[in-house]
Amino acid sequence: MSDYYEILGVPRDASQDQIKKAYRKLARELHPDVAGEAAEDKFKDVSRAYEVLSNPDKRQQYDLGSDPSAAGGGMGGGFGFQDIFETFFGGGQAQSGPIPRARRGQDSLVRLDIDLSEATFGARRELQVDTAVVCGTCSGSCCRPGTSPRTCDVCNGRGTVQRVARSFLGQVMTTAPCAACQGFGTVIPEPCAECAGEGRVRSRRTLTVNVPAGVDTGTRIKLTSQGEVGPAGGPAGDLYVEIRERNHEIFVRRGDDLHCTLQVPMTAAALGTVLELETLDGPQEIDLRPGTQPGQIVTLKNLGVGHLHTGGRGDLNVHVEVQVPTGLDDEQQELLRSLAKARGEERPDPRLSAAHPGVFSRLRDKLSGR
């Protein structure tokens, strides 16, 4: 059984569009009217492969190990006159008139770096962009001032020309864009010197961007019709502003929550205390309960990043890191020994337990130099 995928040069998971494109390319190259009678057998193989693979039912049978073309033969199922016509003459609806010279401009993408505080509360930023604007000299007409486009002498303004093509179907009348005017139906006899007949020039503009609270790296803000002006002063495309958030020196963002580490002395963790913490909202009091343990998290509600679509804010999670004192003098060591004796901890009984996932994340960060 022939390998139809190999004959068409497509992978076994090829889409119908890939199969059709591969067939059209090979059919143009191998048709006997083009390549001569020597290519007739290859053309038949390509046609048979397309007949099977272009039909979902036949393709399924073929993938299961049987060749459906062996039973019926010839061009059937997914192969017909339309496929042949599209292969040689491009298919689709014929162009009914000249192409408009003014076309929509391309969309543009720029990046904007913001701070964590701007992502948290939102911001209003000015942004400079280099883009295409309407030519001030010709106002988008593409012509030197005082002149105008002239009707194309080749196509008489239709934008298309007809020609007779010879194929295996006989003589066929085809329509193609006029090469003299590129399908516009008009030519520019005296192009504008400022824009070289484009109807637009490059310029730098300053735009104001409203950055909503809750944006994150990768968020795109759409500014409608603020992209490039199209050729011949056509409508402007859209401008997309992609956000890139800078890392903060203290706070780490996870979604809309913020995380930070608070280092406290062992005595403060044991006895409890009230500390003042500088947040994005200004100073906030944090209450450490007596017996606060290393790694314990104190959550300050609604002090995180604003929610982008739903309103409200995330939380600020404060991770407590208890500092063990070093460099104790004799008096301090004696005080700790007295405390250990009073608590019966002179010879503590070690207890093993499963490592907390945070241990491994901290170890990974340390090894990676973060």
My answer on whether 263 and 300 are in the same domain is yes
The letter for the amino acid at 139 is S
My answer on whether 350 and 238 are in the same domain is no
Residue 143 in marked binding region: no
My answer on whether 327 and 207 are in the same domain is no
My answer on whether 360 and 270 are in the same domain is yes
Q: What is the pLDDT of residue 215?
A: 96
My answer on whether 15 and 114 are in the same domain is no
- 102 domain-assigned: no
Give the percent of the chain with pLDDT over 90. Answer: 56
Q: What is the pLDDT of residue 96?
A: 62
- 303 domain-assigned: yes
- 11 domain-assigned: yes
My answer on whether 9 and 131 are in the same domain is no
pLDDT of 93 > 60? The answer is no
Report how far residue 41's alpha carbon sits from residue 242's, in angstroms, rounded to the nearest whole number: 55
Residue 135 in marked binding region: yes
- 306 domain-assigned: yes
On whether the CB atoms of residues 188 and 149 are closer than 8 A, the answer is yes
**Total structural domains in the chain?**
4
Q: How far is CA 324 from the centre of its chain?
A: 48
Residue 181 in marked binding region: yes
My answer on whether 53 and 155 are in the same domain is no
> Which domain covers residue 15, as residue numbers?
4-89
My answer on whether 238 and 258 are in the same domain is no
pLDDT band at 365 (very low <50, low <70, confident <90, very high): low
pLDDT of 367 > 50? The answer is no
Give Cβ neighbours of residue 98 (< 8 Å, ≥ 6 apart).
155, 157, 158, 159, 160, 181, 183, 184, 185, 186
Q: What is the pTM of this model?
A: 0.64
The values of phi and psi at residue 196, to 5°, are 55, 35
- 363 domain-assigned: yes
Start-end of H helices in 282-329: none
Residue 152 in marked binding region: yes
pLDDT of 54 > 50? The answer is yes
Residue 142 in marked binding region: no
